[in-house]
Amino acid sequence: MLIRIPNASDARPSEITDRSTYFGRREFMLGAAAFSAAAALPFGAIAAPLSATKSPLSTNETPTPLKDVTSYNNFYEFGTDKGDPAKNAHTLTTKPWKVKVDGLVDKPADYDLDDLIKDIALEERIYRMRCVEGWSMVIPWVGVPLASVLARVSPQGSAKYLAFETLVRPEEMPGQKGFFQAMKWPYVEGLRLDEAMHPLTILAVGLYGEKLPNQNGAPIRLVVPWKYGFKSIKSVVRMTLTDKQPITSWSRENPREYGFYSNVNPAVDHPRWSQATERRIGDQGGSFGGLFAKRHPTLLFNGYAEQVASLYSGLDLKANY
C-alpha cells in the first residue's frame, strides 16, 4: 500500500536551505565549468543578484513566500507530484543553453541564451499566477518582454503564432523516463502572435531577484499572467514562428478540458471543477497558517482584463476556452 505521510527525510519548510546558501551551492556546481563562461553571462558575475528595474505592470499584492514558489509547482518533466520539481530538478544542466528560433523569421538560429536576451533590460514583474487546478500565487519574476526578443529575430509578416518547446533530456528529467510517463514529450505550448507581443508577456530568467531555480523553469521560461499557469512553458529550447495554430500539450492530452487559449475565466468552468474561486498559496487564516485561509474570487483574465480584454473582442470565450 502506498502511504504518503511526510517522513523524516522530507524537508520541513524550516529546514529548506536559505536562498543565498542555495544559490551558492549552484554556483559551486557550476563553478568549475563556468569560469570561462562567467564572462559571457548577461548579468555580470554569477553570484550577484539580478539587477532589474521595477515595472508599472507589477501588482502591489503581497508576493507568495519564496519557499512556496520554489517547492510547490507542476513541472511534470520532474514528476507529477507538486513537490517533485523541487526534489528532482537539481540534476538539470542549464549552462550552456541554446534556444532554437525557427519558422517564419528572418534571423533563424540556435541562439545562445545570453545572446538572445543580451542588452534587453531586465525588469521585475510581480504577477498573479493562477493554476488551472484552482490555486494561485503572486510571483516577483525577473525577465524581458517577449516582444523585445521577437524584435531581435525579425518575424516575417506571414507569422501569426508562436510555438514553444521544452527541453527533452530524460537523463536529467526523471519524469521523461521509465514505464509510466505522464505526458507526451516535448511539452509544447503556443500563443497567438499578438498575445506573444503583448507588453505583459515576458520571458523570465529569475524570480525574487535571483536566477530562476531549476524547478521553476530555468534558465528561461514564458510567463503569460492572464492565462492558466500551464501556458507559461518552462525551460524553453525552441520558439517557432508559424502561420498555423500550434498544438499545445494539455489540449493534446485532453481537448475537451483544455483549449488553446486557456485564459483565466471564472465564468468558464473546467468540465470537472469550478474556476470561480482560488486558494491563494501563502495566505494566512488567523494564527494557524493556511489551514483556515479563505478562497479568493477568481478574476476575468486573472485581473488583467483592462490590459488584455481587447485582444479577444468578438471572440466567444466559452467556445474558445
Partner 1 sequence: MATRSRQRSTLSRLILGADPQRRTLYIAGMTPAVLYFYWGLTNQLGADPQNVLERALGLWALRFLIASLAITPLRQLGGPSLYRFRRAIGLLAFYYAALHLTVYMVLDKGLDLPSIIADIIKRPYITVGMLAFAILVPLAVTSNGPMIRRLGANWRKLHRLAYVAAAAAALHFIMLVKVWPGEPLIYAGLVAALLLFRLANSLRPRARPARS
* Greatest distance between any 2 Cα atoms in the chain: 58
Minimum distance, C-beta of residue 212 to partner 1, in the bound complex (Å): 18
Considering beta carbons, is residue 36 or 254 the nearer one to partner 1?
Answer: 254
Under the criterion CB under 8 A, does residue 12 sit at the interface with partner 1? yes
Under the criterion CB under 8 A, does residue 256 sit at the interface with partner 1? no
Under the criterion CB under 8 A, does residue 103 sit at the interface with partner 1? no
Minimum distance, C-beta of residue 152 to partner 1, in the bound complex (Å): 35
The cell 519524469 sits on which residue?
A: 175
Q: Which amino acid is at 195?
A: E
279/277 Cα distance (integer angstroms): 7
Residue 192: burial class (beta carbons within 10 Å; 0-12, 13-18, 19+): middle
Under the criterion CB under 8 A, does residue 16 sit at the interface with partner 1? no
Under the criterion CB under 8 A, does residue 4 sit at the interface with partner 1? yes
275/266 Cα distance (integer angstroms): 5
**Residue 107 to residues 97, 116, 158, Cα–Cα distance (Å):** 18, 11, 15
Minimum distance, C-beta of residue 86 to partner 1, in the bound complex (Å): 10
Per DSSP, the three-state class of 309 is helix
Selected from 77, 275, 282, 312, the binder of partner 1 by CB under 8 A is 282
Under the criterion CB under 8 A, does residue 296 sit at the interface with partner 1? no
Considering beta carbons, is residue 35 or 292 the nearer one to partner 1?
Answer: 292
Considering beta carbons, is residue 28 or 180 the nearer one to partner 1?
Answer: 180
Under the criterion CB under 8 A, does residue 255 sit at the interface with partner 1? no
Selected from 183, 305, 309, 317, the binder of partner 1 by CB under 8 A is 183
Considering beta carbons, is residue 84 or 123 the nearer one to partner 1?
Answer: 84
**Torsion angle (degrees, nearest 10) of CA 262, 148, 35, 23:** -40
> Which of the residues 117 through 146 are near partner 1 (CB under 8 A)?
133, 135
Under the criterion CB under 8 A, does residue 180 sit at the interface with partner 1? yes
Under the criterion CB under 8 A, does residue 17 sit at the interface with partner 1? no
201/125 Cα distance (integer angstroms): 10
> Pairing state of beta strands 236-242 and 98-103?
parallel
Under the criterion CB under 8 A, does residue 8 sit at the interface with partner 1? no
Minimum distance, C-beta of residue 202 to partner 1, in the bound complex (Å): 23
C-alpha cell at 178: 521509465
Considering beta carbons, is residue 56 or 286 the nearer one to partner 1?
Answer: 286
240/212 Cα distance (integer angstroms): 23
Residue 71: CB atoms within 10 A of its CB come to 18
Under the criterion CB under 8 A, does residue 185 sit at the interface with partner 1? no
Residue 197: CB atoms within 10 A of its CB come to 17
Percent helix, strand, coil in the chain, to 5, is: 30, 20, 50
Q: How far is CA 239 from the centre of its chain?
A: 15
Selected from 27, 42, 68, 309, the binder of partner 1 by CB under 8 A is 68
Binding flags for partner 1, 146-165, as an x/- string (CB under 8 A): --------------------
Q: What residues line the site for partner 1 (CB under 8 A)? A: 1-2, 4-6, 12-13, 67-68, 71-72, 76, 80, 82-83, 133, 135, 180, 182-183, 253-254, 269, 272-274, 276-277, 279, 281-282, 288-295
